[in-house]
Structure 1
Amino acid sequence: MKNRKALLPLAVLAAGVLTLSACGSDSGDAGTGGITVPDIPMATEIGEGEGEVNIVAWAGFVEDGTTNPDADWVTAFEEETGCMVNRKVGATSDEMVQLMRTGEYDVVSASGDASLRLIAGGDVQPLNTDLVPNFGNLVEGLKGQVYDTLNGKSYGVPIGRGANVLMYNTEKVTEAPDSWAPTWEADSEFAGQVMAYDSPIFIADAAVYLMATEPDLGIENPYALDEEQLAAAVELLKKQNEIAGEYWNDALKAVSSISTGTASMGTGWQVIVNLAQGDGGPVEAVLPQEGATGWSDTWMVHAEAKNQNCAYQWIDYASAPDVNASISQNFGMAPANELACEGSEANIAHCETFHATDEEYYENVWMWTTPVEQCIDGRTDVTCTNYQQWTEAWTAVKG
């Protein structure tokens, strides 16, 4: 493993800035500069359901047949448990963090660029995985990861994962690429036709490329950048800005751009490629030789969930092989439950497409992780840059 098995010793969030300390304590007293991590109790049993559960999730994760009559796993859950599901679709990770902090939601589907913020801010509780029987069937590559595990405690139950691949329009790019170079270099023949992801976390994509092309920078983890390394990534991103035709954070817009050839190539998701191909778009994708970033989503429970019993029931239900298969196929990602890759031909084919159980494939994928001040690459002689600094840097890149 490159990076993702190491657990963070302690994370602290204050005023939007993440800070880490090298030691922890069960009293919640282990912080620096007066900042502490709340000692949030873990559930010991699941009681009678409260009658409802409020969930903020990505579109496609919590479906009751309203959007698509063929996508409905909420109805069966409600019938089985008596817990009525109230869903709010989150548009961005930042929005999901803000919504969870209102206290109005019991459960969130958090990506790695949000999960540490929620953990460190005391917004979510550690989960008793013994109360989630389906946790035992999750692929090993998704257990105990830096973005959802703290001090050996699991704060999230993985839903699925995916890589940020290099997608390209085959009518514009006639020779299949094997490198990110055409999306970064100033002399790219596709200048003005490059598509990039619009988010501060995209700084890590620049860092991945620098790891391969400028090893003297000493980047060991694209989410652990000291000030000098961040400056190098920003410089590269500014160069890309000169050849980028567009930035995207709407998957359907990305489908249109890459299908029509408005964009010749750029960072995308496998589901975007699938949708484009389904509409007849001349689109393919590759995991370049330099590796890539990626994302994994996890179910998390609010620290003071009003409907904690229903929340636990939802998480275990949604983690069952059949439901996890439905969610992953509906959204377009690799399922977290390895048993979701068995049974039907559709399950098997889907898992092959998304490399669901292929840990060798994901060895080259650096999952989104909130950048924090304690360097998660193990360095102790420097301070790494945090998410707030990345946000400021991204604003400077975009101009």
Structure 2
Amino acid sequence: MNPTTRPATLRRLLGVAALTCSLALVGACGSDDDSGGSESSQAIEELGENEGQVSILTWPGYVEDGSNDPNVDWVTPFEDETGCQVTSKVYGTSDEAFNLAKTGEYDVIAASGDLSLRLVASDEAAAVNTDLVPNYEGIFDFLKDTEWNTVDGVNYGIPHGYGANLLMYNTDVVKPAPTSWSAVFTDASKYAGKVTAYDSPIYIADAALYLMKHEPDLGITNPYALDADQLDAAVDLLKEQRQSIGEYWSDYLKEISAFQTGDSVVGTSWQVIVNAIDQPNIEAILPEEGATAWNDTWMLSSQAENVNCAYAWMDYIASPEANATATEYFGEAPNSEAACELTTDPNHCDTYHAGDEEFSEQLWYWRTPIAECLDGRTDVTCTDYSEWTAAWTEIKG
């Protein structure tokens, strides 16, 4: 399928809103259990009869029932197979999803790494017994038991699709071909007014990753774990970059347009955007420093009223057939080799580096910055997302 035919599904708008509580302050996020053994950490041991319905909170493009495009429907086969009628609610930001999840109106939640652990910390996510999800076994091993879907050995979800934030550039203008993120940082002035960057505080992690590789004396070992001095260094780099930025983007359509007109010639992008532009002079690479990225997780609400149908959905969407259809439609890497064998585009998984563990090891999947340093340091306090949000406002001016 041509990516340009699905405008609604790509409006992921992965920008993350201000974070109001950190995982280090679980009590402030709604947990009254000081023992660390809340009921939500105890996964069910067996399933019962399907309840006949399931409510899903989701990113756009993840739960398609034909209403957006009559030719795009993987919900109806699920309903026919299980008897679970699907209702879904689309959200635009992780902060919005967090607030919606707290209402208890949803059984299953599709969560990126900046949301998943917030749900766990606030006891809004229930542990998942992967033995009750037969299709879990076929998922790529490197997506399992990760820092964004597993806590203290307890699994809280089923991995879905994933993708990297790439460096996209116009080959007619950006010469020689870049190999490093320096094209948008230290060398950005060469393309002043035509540099673009993702419009979100989480983009600070991209600057931190660059500094981690080029200024080791700063001591950055995880781009989501920045103490005050490290955050200041990232902010300084982004303020310098700001002088060359033509525009920040969060709407993929605007980035497509800017590259097509030449208003932007270099900046952060996604593979699906490169595909949508489909011009020989627009290319994208994974720079030598690696990149930030996302991997989404299907999570079970701790307030789920339809647990059996929720498990049925998590197993179904992890199946090779459904996962291939959903991830190809959205524009990301599927979660299993079997799914790769079922994509309509035989090159889809090669294009998105699905199953390429070496490629994945170069990615820093989104995490929510919290005061308790994610890199394991205990001698300092790290900056949390509220501080990143304030810094981003300062950067943009």
- The two structures have a TM-score, normalised by structure 2, of 0.89
Check whether the contact 1:186–1:243 (CA below 8 A) recurs between aligned residues: no
1:191/1:281 CA distance change after superposition, 3 Å: same
1:67/1:353 CA distance change after superposition, 3 Å: same
Which amino acid is 1:380 matched to? T
Aligned to 1:8: none
Distance in 2 between residues matched to 1:105 and 1:85, nearest whole Å: 11
Which amino acid is 1:129 matched to? T
Matched, 1:311 2:310: yes
Counterpart mapping for 1:99-248 below 5 A: 99-185=100-186, 188-248=189-249
Matched, 1:273 2:278: no
Matched, 1:78 2:107: no
Q: Which stretch shows the higher mean deviation, 112-121 or 320-329?
A: 112-121
Check whether the contact 1:20–1:372 (CA below 8 A) recurs between aligned residues: no
Check whether the contact 1:60–1:331 (CA below 8 A) recurs between aligned residues: yes
Which amino acid is 1:139 matched to? F
Structure 1 runs of 4+ with >6 Å offset: none
Q: Which ranges of structure 2 fall in alignment gaps of 5 or more residues?
A: 1-18, 27-31
Aligned to 1:387: 385
Aligned to 1:9: none
DSSP-derived class of the 1:295 partner: strand
Which amino acid is 2:117 matched to? L
Matched, 1:19 2:24: yes
Distance in 2 between residues matched to 1:200 and 1:124, nearest whole Å: 25
1:38/1:344 CA distance change after superposition, 3 Å: closer
Check whether the contact 1:20–1:374 (CA below 8 A) recurs between aligned residues: no
> How far is the alpha carbon of 1:344 from its aligned partner?
5.9
DSSP-derived class of the 1:188 partner: helix
> How far is the alpha carbon of 1:87 from its aligned partner?
1.6
Aligned to 1:6: none
> How far is the alpha carbon of 1:187 from its aligned partner?
5.5
> How far is the alpha carbon of 1:57 from its aligned partner?
1.2
Aligned to 2:376: 378
Deviations 1:142-162 (A, max 9, x none): 111111110101112110111
Distance in 1 between residues matched to 2:391 and 2:282, nearest whole Å: 32
> How far is the alpha carbon of 1:258 from its aligned partner?
2.1
Check whether the contact 1:147–1:370 (CA below 8 A) recurs between aligned residues: no
1:281/1:65 CA distance change after superposition, 3 Å: farther
Distance in 1 between residues matched to 2:83 and 2:37, nearest whole Å: 35
> How far is the alpha carbon of 1:374 from its aligned partner?
2.0
Deviations 1:119-178 (A, max 9, x none): 111111111111111111111111111111101011121101111000112333253211
Distance in 2 between residues matched to 1:341 and 1:326, nearest whole Å: 10
Distance in 2 between residues matched to 1:240 and 1:114, nearest whole Å: 28
Q: Which ranges of structure 1 fall in alignment gaps of 5 or more residues?
A: 1-13, 22-26, 31-35
Aligned to 1:359: 357
Check whether the contact 1:113–1:201 (CA below 8 A) recurs between aligned residues: no
Check whether the contact 1:37–1:120 (CA below 8 A) recurs between aligned residues: no
Distance in 2 between residues matched to 1:253 and 1:213, nearest whole Å: 31
Which amino acid is 1:245 matched to? G
Q: Which stretch shows the higher mean deviation, 53-62 or 388-397?
A: 388-397
Aligned to 1:341: 340
Aligned to 2:90: 89
> How far is the alpha carbon of 1:365 from its aligned partner?
0.8
DSSP-derived class of the 2:43 partner: coil
Distance in 2 between residues matched to 1:134 and 1:127, nearest whole Å: 13
DSSP-derived class of the 1:19 partner: helix
> How far is the alpha carbon of 1:358 from its aligned partner?
0.8
Check whether the contact 1:50–1:309 (CA below 8 A) recurs between aligned residues: yes
> How far is the alpha carbon of 1:15 from its aligned partner?
4.9
Deviations 1:41-76 (A, max 9, x none): 322222222222111211111111222233211010
Aligned to 1:295: 294
Aligned to 2:6: none
Check whether the contact 1:134–1:316 (CA below 8 A) recurs between aligned residues: yes
Distance in 1 between residues matched to 2:396 and 2:100, nearest whole Å: 26
DSSP-derived class of the 2:314 partner: helix
Which amino acid is 1:116 matched to? L
**Matched-pair identity in %:** 53
Distance in 2 between residues matched to 1:357 and 1:80, nearest whole Å: 28
Distance in 1 between residues matched to 2:20 and 2:113, nearest whole Å: 19
Distance in 2 between residues matched to 1:398 and 1:355, nearest whole Å: 33
Which amino acid is 1:19 matched to? A
DSSP-derived class of the 2:359 partner: helix
> How far is the alpha carbon of 1:108 from its aligned partner?
1.4
> How far is the alpha carbon of 1:217 from its aligned partner?
0.2
Distance in 2 between residues matched to 1:249 and 1:217, nearest whole Å: 29
1:362/1:43 CA distance change after superposition, 3 Å: same
> How far is the alpha carbon of 1:373 from its aligned partner?
2.0
1:146/1:271 CA distance change after superposition, 3 Å: same
DSSP-derived class of the 2:160 partner: strand
